[in-house]
Amino acid sequence: MSRRHILAAAPSLALMGCSRAPTASPVIDLPSLKSTAPFPVGVCAMTGHLDDPAWVDLVSTHFSQLTPEWEMKMERLVRDDGTLDFTASDRLADFCADQRMRLFGHTLIWYAQEHPWFQALPEDRFATEHDRYVRTTVERYRGRAVGWDVVNEPVAEDGNGYRECLWSRRFGGVDGYIRRAFDVAREADGEAVLFLNDYNLENNPTKGASYLRLVERLLAAGTPITGLGTQSHLDITIPEGQITAFMRELAGFGLPIHVSELDASLESGRRVDVRSDATRESQQRDRVVELAEAFMALPPAQRWAFTVWGARDSDSWMRLREDGGGPNDRPLLFDDRGRPKPVAADVAQIFAGG
């Protein structure tokens, strides 16, 4: 157990002493994360969550920013005839307004969402329709969405090079399609912070380096990237120091940084995993603590937001994954019943500057 674990666990042990008998999971008296942190604390959400009063209560207590987990993606917005359907994303935007939460737009152009309607377009309409999609979506939420993941996940899975996709093929490679999406988004909203977002940047140093090189090149060419998103689906087995090292390099651009999708699976996806539950939980806490500390160590102006990819463990996309994750995974800060886990107390303490 690290020093941080012992400190963060202390209040819960004190509280346990007040109850009549120790229970299986100690009660943690978690302060409101959003009130504790000197930056917005985000969570992802789907419209289904809005009808769950326990989720609404938890989210309104602890979170000050919301990323639509699915409903603002191309696969949801674009109908078969190419028209756009904003009913679900509007509901999430309205929820944010009611709750006084910031709305974060996710995501405009993504290799994984090559909508069939776009695939079928004749070449001479492609650029116009691409621009129309980006412009219409960004303009709709202008003044409401504080930022956008303009391009998501451009770096190749193994970190060597960049993904080829519908967008890169039509717009002259990775630099071309990213530049185009950012230019249109900037024209559509002069205020929103525009992010290039990717994952495994801390987990895989090769991928982190490719991302940094891409950002450097795009900025040098005048691309209006004004924020850097690191998803942080953490691999809890990576060596200590790797997250910190990446965050320091990321900070070198001087741009706002968004930890945009934090979770930390306890499952490796391997057939045989001999780690005990206690070992996995300790690894998870250590890596999440390292990330939170590295984020806190950024210059205040660069701490744009710290977002977790789900409120309760039961809300996590990991539960549906077969290669890692799975039905027993517990990758988030709150358990299935919405009770804060020790890792949440660790994070709160770090955000409080302790």
Q: Which residues bind ligand 9MR (CB under 6 A)?
A: 69-70, 73, 152, 199, 231, 261, 317
Q: How far apart are CA 95 and CA 45, in angstroms?
A: 10
Nearer to ligand 9MR, 166 or 296 (CB): 166
> What is the nearest approach in angstroms of ligand 9MR to the Cβ of residue 90?
18
CB of 112 to ligand 9MR, least distance (A): 7
> What is the 3-state composition of the chain as percent helix, strand, coil, each rounded to the nearest 5?
45, 15, 40
Burial bucket for residue 80 (CB in 10 Å: 0-12, 13-18, 19+): exposed
Q: Rounded to the nearest whole angstrom, what is the least distance from the CB of residue 151 to ligand 9MR in the complex?
A: 12
* Structural tokens at position 52: 């769950």
For residues 28 and 215, which CB has a smaller minimum distance to ligand 9MR in the complex?
Answer: 215
Long-range CB contacts (< 8 A, 24+ apart) of 251-256?
251/298, 251/299, 251/302, 253/215, 253/216, 253/219, 253/228, 254/302, 255/225, 255/226, 255/227, 255/228, 255/302, 256/193, 256/226, 256/227, 256/228, 256/301, 256/302, 256/303, 256/304
Q: Which two tokens stand for residue 283?
A: 């690894």
Compare residues 76 and 130 and give the one whose CB is closer to ligand 9MR.
76
As measured in angstroms, the least distance from the Cβ of 249 to ligand 9MR is 21
Nearer to ligand 9MR, 86 or 317 (CB): 317
Give catalytic residues, as residue numbers: 153, 198, 261
Which DSSP letter does residue 334 get? Answer: B
CB of 110 to ligand 9MR, least distance (A): 7
Residues 6 or more apart whose Cβ sits within 8 Å of residue 251: 257, 298, 299, 302
Residue nearest to ligand 9MR (CB): 317
CB-wise, 231 or 283, nearer to ligand 9MR?
231
